[in-house]
């Protein structure tokens, strides 16, 4: 089975190479470019860093400077696409960690099938080969969980702090992770519980505050505003699946006359759901249960986020293999759920194409209805996931998974 694991890794590598090469061809020959618009932002920001300037000299660069540093080799070696290779490497490392954790939890044959959900997933492959940096974040999150599972809480905390520095949203995982550690160490006594929680908490703060302080010393308030504060008042409306998309568009068009304040409170239902789903079913404090909870929590967070684009889906796709390893949902219902998710997403993308590439006015009813249908589908899916995760694993099913 080890040879089959490596065969999957090799196959996934060559599939990514194929996507990468086709992307270069598409950029040169088609109207719709393969390369993600964000990659141009990363690349341009890296050029400013290479020249000894601030990455924030590049308009719309709203990330940690570490991301622009990562693409400096683009300019050192003079190859625009080199950063995509870097992202693909992180993508494959993420797959290797998923493989390692799955092989500890279930049968080898079942693990191989579930590993393919990440390693051979066209959406995952497209996002990394288009030059989106989500693979870096996914890799850090999976490394955090890998060391958490091993009980190396200090290392896990250092990696967790770095992932939060890279993007704020992983901070929502602190609650389920803390609950997991609390119950996992309960038999060792309250002192062990407190020590474990302090180790991961302090090491997380060391990395998070250390990176933040270093970036602030180099780039000043502009770093805080663009990397963090901007996300509180952002009004992105282009290529946004969110149900808030239309309101954000109207707000961006009416900045001078005030506009609506409703979008400023979009985080309220999102935050409440993230907190509630992060506390799901902790009567059985095993690592597999933590990963299932993180899947549902992340799905809820993305579904209710006021900005939602395709790359956000990989935030929960990294947990999908683990969730499916414990799911009670039948394959027929799973197929229906996947079909609805894909079809409503495709409907939105068709309207987005007419708007952004054809210049057609499809805001209403086309784009609005598509956003509403995709949101309602995600709400229904979330309900199914929550019901499923609350269903106890019977001893019979558990024994089957271990065979």
- pLDDT tens across 55-76, in order? 999 988 999 999 999 999 999 9
The pLDDT assigned to 396 comes to 35
Region 108-119: mean pLDDT is 91
The pLDDT assigned to 385 comes to 95
All residues at 6 or more sequence positions from 233 whose CB lies less than 8 Å from its CB, including other chains: 264
Look at 165-174, 185-194, 207-216 and tell me which has the smallest mean pLDDT. 185-194
Q: What is the largest CA-CA distance in the chain?
A: 65
Q: What is the pLDDT of residues 152-188, one digit of tens each?
A: 999 999 999 999 999 999 999 999 999 999 988 888 8
Q: How far apart are CA 30 and CA 10, in angstroms?
A: 29
The pLDDT assigned to 279 comes to 85
| Res. 103: pLDDT tops 80 | no
| Res. 252: pLDDT tops 60 | yes
Percent of the chain with pLDDT over 90: 65
pLDDT class for 400, splitting at 50, 70, 90? Answer: very low
| Res. 308: pLDDT tops 50 | yes
The pLDDT assigned to 333 comes to 95
All residues at 6 or more sequence positions from 86 whose CB lies less than 8 Å from its CB, including other chains: 70, 71, 73
Q: How far apart are CA 144 and CA 89, in angstroms?
A: 17
User: What would the DSSP string read from start to end of 356-372?
Assistant: HTS----IIIIIHHHHH
pLDDT class for 351, splitting at 50, 70, 90? Answer: confident
Region 372-399: mean pLDDT is 80
Q: Would you say 131 and 87 are in contact if contact means Cβ atoms under 8 Å apart?
A: yes
Query: Which DSSP category does 225 fall into?
Result: I
Per-residue tokens: 345: 């997403």
CA-based nearest residue to 266, from 289, 293, 235, 241:
235
Q: What is the pLDDT of residues 266-276, one digit of tens each?
A: 778 888 999 89
Region 362-391: mean pLDDT is 90
Region 311-326: mean pLDDT is 94
Sign, CA torsion 91/95/96/100: positive
Bigger pLDDT: 332 vs 245:
332
The pLDDT assigned to 366 comes to 84
Angstrom distances, CA of residue 110 to CA of 117, 128, 322? 12, 26, 11
Percent of the chain with pLDDT over 70: 89
pTM for this prediction: 0.91
Q: What is the pLDDT of residues 81-94, one digit of tens each?
A: 999 999 999 999 99
CA-based nearest residue to 199, from 171, 178, 173:
178
CA-based nearest residue to 209, from 250, 243, 165, 251:
165
With tokens 């894909």, the residue in question is: 342
| DSSP helix/strand/coil, 168 | coil
The pLDDT assigned to 288 comes to 85
pLDDT class for 19, splitting at 50, 70, 90? Answer: very high
| Average pLDDT in the chain | 88
| Res. 403: pLDDT tops 60 | no
> Per-domain residue ranges for the chain?
144-233, 235-389
């Amino acid at each position: 089975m080890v040879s089959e694991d490596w065969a999957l890794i090799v196959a996934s590598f060559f599939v990514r190479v194929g996507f990468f090469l086709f992307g270069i061809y598409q950029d040169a020959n088609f109207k719709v470019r393969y390369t993600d618009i964000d990659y141009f932002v990363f690349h341009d920001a890296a050029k400013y860093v290479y020249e000894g300037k601030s990455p924030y000299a590049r308009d719309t660069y709203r990330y940690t400077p570490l991301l622009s540093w990562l693409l400096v080799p683009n300019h050192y070696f003079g190859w625009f696409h080199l950063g995509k290779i870097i992202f693909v490497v992180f993508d494959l490392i993420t797959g290797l960690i998923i493989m390692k954790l799955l092989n500890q939890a279930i049968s080898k044959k079942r693990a191989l099938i579930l590993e393919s959900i990440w390693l051979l997933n066209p959406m995952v492959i497209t996002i990394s080969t288009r030059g989106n940096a989500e693979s870096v974040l996914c890799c850090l999150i999976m490394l955090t969980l890998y060391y958490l599972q091993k009980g190396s809480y200090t290392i896990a905390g250092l990696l967790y702090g770095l992932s939060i520095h890279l993007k704020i949203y992983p901070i929502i995982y602190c609650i389920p992770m803390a609950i997991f550690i609390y119950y996992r160490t309960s038999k060792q006594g309250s002192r062990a519980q407190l020590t474990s929680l302090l180790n991961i908490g302090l090491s997380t703060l060391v990395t998070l505050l250390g990176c933040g302080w270093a970036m602030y010393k180099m780039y000043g308030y502009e770093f805080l505003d663009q990397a963090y504060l901007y996300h509180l008042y952002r009004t992105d409306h282009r290529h946004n699946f969110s149900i808030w998309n239309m309101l954000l568009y109207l707000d961006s068009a009416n900045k001078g006359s005030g506009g609506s304040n409703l979008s400023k409170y979009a985080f309220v239902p999102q935050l409440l759901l993230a907190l509630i789903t992060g506390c799901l079913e902790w009567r059985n404090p095993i690592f597999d249960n933590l990963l299932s909870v993180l899947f549902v929590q992340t799905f809820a967070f993305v579904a209710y986020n006021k900005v939602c684009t395709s790359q956000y889906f990989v935030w929960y796709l990294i947990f999908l293999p683990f969730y499916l390893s414990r799911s009670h949902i039948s394959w027929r219902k799973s197929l229906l759920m996947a079909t609805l998710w894909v079809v409503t997403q495709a409907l939105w993308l068709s309207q987005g194409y007419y708007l952004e590439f054809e210049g057609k006015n499809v805001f209403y009813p086309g784009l609005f209805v598509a956003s509403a249908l995709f949101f309602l589908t995600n709400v229904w899916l979330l309900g199914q996931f929550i019901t499923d995760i609350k269903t106890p694993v019977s001893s019979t099913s558990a024994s089957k998974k271990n065979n």
